[in-house]
Structure 1
């Protein structure tokens, strides 16, 4: 019989369906890259959906490069600008995707970001504002793909960012910050992946809404 869970050890905490789905997606991607054969994939998927605590998921990902959807700390629901969101989140909007075709779409305010959010625009524009968002996992992946348009991903001072996309006759980059970063051990990580074809995907660090722009590297005069 399994002993009592130690709340100080995040690996002994119970996993959620969102965690299981995130791991399953990593395994499917690994199989698509030829890292796992069909039998291995089926075996690991079965173990994934049977997992009860985070420690059960670790061996399923240990030999896959770059696969780390598991938390390094307790998997609490986090808000990008504060250590933890203070209230219930059931009533908050949850968006898994953003789409704009010859138009525009904005995601902003307080909303729940799933472990993976997909944004696509064709001859349009999308703003994915994460400054007040509630992160459902410590690491979030934004799949941003642009064809002759633009996607702006806005983060606050406390959010870590890793830009991993490519630009083809376009730009896929982290733009000039408008506020100094304030990264800490509890800062969520946003990975931005995808492609910009004759368009742009830009990650911009800005102050929280309602705060004025801070001068970078200079004391207020």
Structure 2
């Protein structure tokens, strides 16, 4: 009696246990779920902050999935009912390509400010240089904006409007890493997360007094038909 051929072996890179290293896109996907859960009232501000911090500390896909296991749109979960469309609020057209902005200052100075469209992710790297990122007049194209800041004998300063949310995690080694946590009163407010480290340098993120996203409430009311 002929013996049926054995099924092909799973490729060596298969990841049944979730040990695959997480990418920036994986982390952004989980962070988007958390941002929507905060807007819908499924998470309070403290829970959201704790989970976002865990997202950007996770190294593998297996570490990311439990963070949103109890939320709609979590990996492997089937929702009981269709999810409502998210409110676009004050955001512009989303950067579907997910291209990151690259800011580099080596023995020099780089500034990004004025009316500009913020990418989903910005990588800032200063070596004996200075980088200024001013978001007070920027157009936010998505609910979550991540800034990865690395300063080596340099300085990186991030300024945000007073009515958005600001969080961050990082380390200062013979230097300073300081993010002033800020919680936007409106759940539709953009969230900016600053991550990174400073080696004999400085990374600082804080709100700029008197600067607001002035069209946030008006655009929300217009979308809701009020």
Shorter-normalised TM range:
0.5 to 0.7
- Using the alignment, how far apart are the partners of 2:156 and 2:85 within structure 1? 31
TM-score of the two chains, using structure 1 as the length reference: 0.55
Matches within 5 A, 1:10-159: 22-23=25-26, 33-36=59-62, 58-59=74-75, 74=86, 76=88, 83-84=89-90, 96-159=101-164
- Using the alignment, how far apart are the partners of 1:120 and 1:84 within structure 2? 29
Deviations 1:147-170 (A, max 9, x none): 001000001111111120110000
Task: For structure 1, list consecutive stretches of 5 or more residues without a partner in the other structure.
Answer: 1-20, 37-43, 45-54, 63-71, 77-82, 210-221
Number of residue pairs matched?
149
Task: For structure 2, list consecutive stretches of 5 or more residues without a partner in the other structure.
Answer: 1-23, 31-54, 66-71, 79-83, 213-226
Aligned to 1:22, what secondary structure does the other structure show? helix
Structure 2 CA distance for partners of 1:34 and 1:84, relative to 1, 3 Å: closer
Structure 2 CA distance for partners of 1:169 and 1:23, relative to 1, 3 Å: same
1:195 is aligned to 2:211: no
Larger radius of gyration: 2
Structure 2 CA distance for partners of 1:59 and 1:181, relative to 1, 3 Å: closer
C-alpha RMSD of the superposition: 3.9
Deviations 1:12-55 (A, max 9, x none): xxxxxxxxx8347669x99x93444xxxxxxx9xxxxxxxxxx7
Q: Is the 8 A contact 2:93 2:141 kept in 1?
A: no
110-119 or 146-155: bigger deviation: 110-119
- Using the alignment, how far apart are the partners of 1:24 and 1:171 within structure 2? 25
TM-score of the two chains, using structure 2 as the length reference: 0.54
Q: Is the 8 A contact 2:164 2:191 kept in 1?
A: yes
Aligned to 2:126, what secondary structure does the other structure show? strand
